[in-house]
């Protein structure tokens, strides 16, 4: 399948290297070798394998993939995704994948020396001077800025990056993608390609600026049993989870399960679950307006008093005191 969008406008005989897709699970085209991809995981969770280790990703999340990236999903629970496929030439005709991989723009991605106090023009001169030559008809400053927008795909030393999204960041990224979906499908006037380019630039700036990075998505596990159990924890956070439930769900005995968790995360599995629920409770207390009883239920505690007791054991403060302190800090 050719991942392009063809014009349906009378008199516009053209196509652009941009394609948009929504689906349950993941697009079957993620292994395409001609495009970069931005994937928004709206719902669910999945486990990805990397070099024999395992990474758990929970929604809302985003994935940035270059043309060489391979997403190896070994476990998935209720994933719904939106995928934007694009060729970097959408920014500039010269930004072919071949050019970006050739080293032609490497100087633009070099770190500036922190110890020097440089003016903006001095920084620009440092970046553009040297062996790399550009056509004089292009603005060197704009080439620099446009190249940096693609740094997340071709200069981080990895072909795929995973990000957690805050609810606000998730809404923003979904809005950009929905805008692209509308322009691709409806093509309301002759400026639809220009607007798509603008929305892609906004998404790329969002990615480069790391507005939504959360180190939870950087956790990598060696034991597939551990990562599948943790995925189960995330998917059933608000439900009652007992050790007996886990032993039946994963057909494993208590000693094997706890030995695996102790080796991987330094504590038994039920202790890990309690820590996970308390971390979730802290986030809810700090960033949501839900009542403490609602948060208690969302964290799997039907008894609010017991939830408060466990929370105080971990934090030294009651949920009410913790929320008050966070509000005072803000």
Q: So what's the pLDDT on residue 205?
A: 85
Fold of 222-329: Arc Repressor Mutant, subunit A (1.10.10)
Range 5-90+150-218 has CATH code 2.60.120.280: yes
- For the chain, domain boundaries: 5-90+150-218, 97-148, 222-329
Reported as a pLDDT band with limits 50, 70 and 90, residue 319 is very high
CA 239 to chain centre: 26
How far apart CA 120 and CA 191 sit, in angstroms, is: 33
Does the pLDDT at position 214 exceed 90?
A: no
Contact assessment for residue 101 and residue 204, using Cβ atoms and an 8 Å cutoff: no
Does the pLDDT at position 20 exceed 90?
A: yes
Helix axes 304-315, 319-329, angle to 10 degrees: 60
Does the pLDDT at position 22 exceed 90?
A: yes
Contact assessment for residue 238 and residue 299, using Cβ atoms and an 8 Å cutoff: yes
Structure tokens at 48: 């990805």
Structure tokens at 301: 């505690």
Contact assessment for residue 293 and residue 304, using Cβ atoms and an 8 Å cutoff: yes
Q: So what's the pLDDT on residue 76?
A: 92
Residue pLDDT, tens place only, 114-172? 434 545 455 445 444 444 444 443 445 577 778 888 887 876 567 898 888 877 788 98
């Amino acid at each position: 399948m050719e991942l392009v969008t063809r014009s349906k406008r009378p008199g516009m005989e053209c196509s652009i290297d941009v394609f948009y897709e929504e689906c349950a699970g993941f697009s079957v085209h993620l292994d395409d070798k001609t495009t970069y991809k931005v994937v928004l995981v709206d719902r669910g969770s999945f486990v990805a394998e990397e070099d024999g280790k395992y990474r758990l990703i929970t929604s809302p999340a985003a994935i940035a993939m270059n043309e060489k990236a391979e997403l190896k999903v070994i476990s998935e629970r209720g994933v719904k995704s939106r995928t934007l496929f694009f060729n970097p030439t959408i920014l500039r005709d010269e930004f072919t994948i071949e050019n970006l991989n050739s080293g032609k723009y490497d100087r633009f991605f070099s770190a500036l020396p922190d110890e020097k106090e440089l003016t903006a023009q001095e920084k620009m001169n440092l970046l553009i001077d040297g062996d790399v030559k550009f056509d004089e008809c292009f603005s060197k400053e704009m080439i620099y800025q446009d190249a940096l927008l693609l740094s997340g795909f071709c200069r981080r030393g990895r072909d795929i990056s995973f990000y957690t999204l805050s609810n606000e960041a998730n809404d923003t990224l979904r809005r950009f993608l929905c805008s692209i979906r509308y322009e691709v499908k409806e093509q309301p006037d002759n400026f639809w390609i220009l607007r798509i380019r603008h929305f892609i630039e906004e998404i790329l700036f969002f990615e480069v600026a790391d507005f939504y990075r959360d180190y939870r998505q950087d956790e990598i596990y060696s034991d597939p049993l551990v990562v599948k159990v943790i995925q189960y924890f995330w998917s059933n956070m608000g439900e009652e989870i007992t050790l007996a439930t886990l032993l039946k769900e994963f057909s494993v005995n208590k000693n094997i399960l706890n030995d695996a968790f102790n080796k991987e995360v330094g504590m038994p599995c039920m202790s890990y679950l309690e820590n996970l629920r308390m971390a979730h409770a802290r986030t809810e207390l700090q960033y949501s307006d839900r009542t403490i009883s609602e948060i208690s239920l969302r964290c799997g505690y039907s008894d609010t008093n017991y939830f408060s007791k466990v929370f105080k054991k971990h934090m030294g403060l009651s949920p009410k005191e913790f929320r008050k302190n966070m509000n005072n800090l803000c």
